[in-house]
Copies of this chain bind each other. A is one copy, B any other.
Amino acid sequence: MMVQADLHSRRQSPVRITEVCPRDGLQHEPEFIPTTRKIALINALSRTGVVEIEAGSFVSPAAVPQLADSDEVFRAIERASGVIYSALVPNERGLERARAAAVDKIAVFTAASDSFTQRNINATVLGSLARFKPIVTAAKRDRMAVRAYLSTVVCCPYEGRVAPAHVRDVMKRLLDLDVDDISLGETIGTASPSDIRALLDTVLPHVELARLSLHFHDTYGMAVANALTAWWDYGITAFDCSAGGLGGCPSAPGASGNVATEDLVFALKASGANVPVDELLVVACVRQLGEAVRHPLNSRLSQVLQLQNLVPAQKR
């Protein structure tokens, strides 16, 4: 356990929010979101205070038709200074498209359990790492930063519980590939703060805080509790989340997946964290998606503000 003074100082670091709505949030939306709306969403999110926006994906358009327009999106967005624009890249072909789109950062994707990676990206965990190696090397040669997603860090939908020590080992291998940062994903939303403590106790000695982000799914309503525990008990101040709580749970459409950015920001601020994100602007970003998203949002703050008619006008 770290010294109390260190913990206090860690907690006060500005919270870094990676906004994943434009990619992870939208990818499974059943209705195609028009490209102009995606561009407007990203431009609006750029003015909320988030430090990074996952703006698209260069996977096969056949696999994820919703994001087939990522090349066009990246060409058209207005890039705000200080914001990193990233895209998912599964292979060399994706990397070429990312390079052509001048993304700041690519994201590669694996998991801590073989059954999950096998179904998700048709490779074992080790196989996925071997696949990443040339991509990471080439990306960095081209001065693109690299983020690695490591999912199923507490539980795998096929294998059940995943041991923290196993997560640590896969994480170390990813860090050895020289990725810039790593996002640990609690994929199925069944983890509790106790699980998060066990995970962080095991992995934190092996990763610099500046390279770590946590990615919680709110499927069972524990994402905010998990994030607040990571912040309060460990001083973690980097989180992935999705405006409006969009996305994140393809196997149960309509069920919540990603924790809503506005809810997490609200909770962290209410707890005394230093969060340079305006949660009301995040709500306005989502509202601007309008009827393109035809289902209730998994966001408490959006619900409350819309009921009270308090959503602010979009800042220009």
Contacts and interface: CB of A to CB of B under 8 A. Distances in A.
B252 A194 contact: no
A301 B220 contact: yes
Q: Which bucket holds chain A's interface residue count? A: 35 or more
Interface centre among A222, A253, A256 (most CB of B within 10 A): A222
A221 interface: yes
A228 interface: yes
Interface string A174-197: 000000000000000011111100
Contact of A228 (B219, B225, B254, B303): B225
Given A252-B307, A252-B308, A307-B255, A192 B228 contact: yes
Given A221-B224, A296-B296, A192 B303 contact: no
A222 B224 contact: yes
A304 interface: yes
Contacts of A224: 221-222, 224-225
Interface string A254-270: 11100010010011001
A173 interface: no
A303 B220 CA distance: 9
A219 B252 CA distance: 24
Contacts of A255: 300, 303-304, 307
Contact of A300 (B192, B221, B228, B271): B221
A304 B263 contact: no
Interface string A233-276: 00000000000000000001111100010010011001110000
A154 to B, nearest CB: 10
A118 B134 CA distance: 69
A136 B272 CA distance: 40
A211 to B, nearest CB: 26
23 contacts: A192-B270, A192-B272, A194-B232, A194-B272, A195-B270, A218-B300, A219-B300, A220-B263, A220-B267, A221-B263, A221-B266, A221-B301, A222-B270, A225-B225, A225-B228, A252-B304, A252-B307, A252-B308, A254-B303, A254-B307, A255-B303, A255-B307, A256-B303
